[in-house]
Amino acid sequence: MTASLNPTKKKKATFNTLTVSKVRPLTDNAVEVSFDIPEELQDDYDYIPGQYVALRAMIDGQEHRRSYSICDVPRPG
């Protein structure tokens, strides 16, 4: 997951290992996924409407990356 989503802080995006805290079905084809963000990374995960998050996972030895829109009211961390 990208670590820097704050547009006022220009720094190279990095990936952090995060834990999924909640998966909530929204429709037959969509889910809401929430993550636990460690306290020391809270400032890196501030965002504004229209931003997205890049996720990556290793599946069967291959790296897969996808980008997802952030669909929530902006709030710190």
What does the pLDDT look like over 20-42, one tens digit per residue? Answer: 999 999 999 988 888 999 999 98
Check residue 1 and give its pLDDT: 44
Read off the pTM: 0.67
Domain of residue 30: give its range.
1-77
Check residue 77 and give its pLDDT: 56
What is the mean predicted confidence (pLDDT) over 58-67?
A: 93
Check residue 3 and give its pLDDT: 45
What is the mean predicted confidence (pLDDT) over 1-24?
A: 72
Which amino acid, one-letter code, is at 44? Answer: D
Rounded Cα distance, 77 and 66, in Å:
21
Neighbour-count burial for 53-67, b at 16+ CB within 10 Å, e otherwise: bebeeeeeeeeeeee
Rounded Cα distance, 9 and 44, in Å:
9
